[in-house]
Chains A and B, each alone.
Chain A
């Protein structure tokens, strides 16, 4: 069933405001999405009705808070079809999830002379942790190149995997810049056949399309709550046997079973990786976000964004001197990064902002990918459940204004 965008916009209080006296056209959900009232209410409810620390108290409020927190974990497990709720680790953001794997799994399993393979299209969050792990361990870091069309060049992968030295392949489910949806399941099959594990960055995919960790082929997958209508937290999913064998990442309260003066024993999964008081209301809010998206239907969301992206690419082609980077609409998610001959990305973003249109300008935490295209920065529009064709039309009109101001 198609999304009713007008009804969805009613669920998001921020769309009641204007920007510079203009209708708010929010095209930066790839950076962070807006929040529906259901999420705001869920967080308010726990603060006003059931707040206490989790996993400790024996009184009613503590029990209610713990139940709400663990219920939310269950919702997130179902959202990605995890076989086991204990495989869902609640963290500060997706970046922390990827760092957790790079530190805890990486330092135990990647040694001198081993190889780590990532791709040139990674967000810095799935690049720098591996780059630094390679440097700490004396391992080699190899890149799967990106073609001019913004696709992964998988021809190099068999050669890189052939010597059996590769311990981990890390790959994004969707580029946050060019929108490319790499063939991750094929990458995972090849990596596994060569004895490597596969770490996936799901930050751009999980909010926008059905993701099933049991069929994906990943051993770990991180995603962020704030890009899927939730608050600013992140989630790491990992296969239980790998998580069980890993040392903790952070030490402190809640992650221990027992502490003596000279040693400590770790708590069971998932708590082993959740040191200290967690972001309780945020986790509850993210559970509500998963409910909200599930009610809309992830297939319907994905179909809506494909339509939006196709329409946007068609209309962007009308703007004089504008160049979109990345693959065609049938091969990408709801993101369009572009550059204009007449304007620096900063100027594009500032000028369209005056028309109420929010887009991003910069390298979008993907500097190596921008190097592939020989561009220091791009402007980027991204689409979500509350965007419609009128939003694209507003963007296009504003981009014509950019040309009117800056084209000589």
Chain B
């Protein structure tokens, strides 16, 4: 499992994340963290007229899993309705990360962007 986690694709996202930064005039603006390990994310998103996710950016710091997951997530959720986001689960995130099965200790790292967006959409 460990070799899966540190393969090229995830390391590329870690070192060169997609959509890194903060969106101006965002509809969703949320900060979320995993206090036990210090992973932290500031996620901003714009929604289209139907309420679908149109654009997402993130800033943050954390481990390879949380940061690569955040980077991939900013593309994976485009076009999703709030209901579709709410229905996303760990399975979807593991599939997004390339079909890996995370150990219990890393699940929360991988879920950081999803949990942030769910919370942000609830609040918006």
Which residues of chain B in 5-62 are interfacial with respect to chain A, using CB atoms and an 8 Å cutoff?
5-6, 11, 14-15, 35-39, 61-62
- The 7 closest A-B CB pairs, nearest first, are A376-B38, A344-B63, A354-B2, A346-B63, A377-B38, A347-B63, A347-B64
Interface size class of B (residues with CB under 8 A): 20 to 34
A376 to B106, Cβ gap below 8 A?
no
Is B93 positioned at the interface, with any CB of A under 8 Å from its CB? no
B105 shortest CB reach to chain A, Å: 7
Closest to B65 in A: A346
A362 to B37, Cβ gap below 8 A?
yes
Main SS at interface, chain B: helix
B124 CB contacts on chain A under 8 angstroms: none
B37 to A376, Cβ gap below 8 A?
yes
Known: A363-B36, A377-B37. 8 other contacts (CB 8 A): A345-B63, A346-B109, A347-B64, A347-B65, A351-B2, A354-B2, A362-B37, A405-B11
A395 shortest CB reach to chain B, Å: 16
A360 shortest CB reach to chain B, Å: 10
A346 to B2, Cβ gap below 8 A?
no
Is A261 positioned at the interface, with any CB of B under 8 Å from its CB? no
Q: Which of B6, B37, B63, B65 has the most CB of A within 10 A?
A: B63
Closest to B38 in A: A376
Closest to A378 in B: B38
Report B58-91 CB contacts with A as 1/0, cut-off 8 Å.
0001111100000000000000000000000000
B37 to A406, Cβ gap below 8 A?
no
C-alpha gap A350/B37 in the complex (Å)? 13
A337 shortest CB reach to chain B, Å: 14
B15 CB contacts on chain A under 8 angstroms: 408
C-alpha gap A361/B37 in the complex (Å)? 8
Report A348-365 CB contacts with B as 1/0, cut-off 8 Å.
001101100000011100
Is A20 positioned at the interface, with any CB of B under 8 Å from its CB? yes
C-alpha gap A367/B36 in the complex (Å)? 8
A346 to B106, Cβ gap below 8 A?
yes
| 28 contacts across the A-B interface (CB closer than 8 A) | A344-B39, A344-B62, A344-B63, A345-B37, A346-B37, A346-B63, A346-B64, A346-B106, A346-B109, A347-B6, A347-B63, A350-B6, A353-B2, A354-B2, A354-B3, A362-B36, A362-B37, A363-B36, A363-B37, A363-B38, A367-B35, A375-B38, A376-B35, A377-B37, A377-B38, A405-B6, A406-B14, A406-B64
Closest to B103 in A: A350
Closest to B2 in A: A354
Closest to B34 in A: A376
Closest to B3 in A: A354
The one of B2, B35, B36, B109 in contact with A20, judged by C-beta atoms closer than 8 angstroms, is B2
B38 CB contacts on chain A under 8 angstroms: 344, 363, 375-377
Closest to A408 in B: B15
C-alpha gap A381/B15 in the complex (Å)? 27
C-alpha gap A261/B48 in the complex (Å)? 69
Closest to B14 in A: A406
B36 CB contacts on chain A under 8 angstroms: 362-363, 377
Report A366-408 CB contacts with B as 1/0, cut-off 8 Å.
0100000001110000000000000000000000000001101
A408 CB contacts on chain B under 8 angstroms: 15
Which residues of chain A in 315-361 are interfacial with respect to chain B, using CB atoms and an 8 Å cutoff?
344-347, 350-351, 353-354, 361
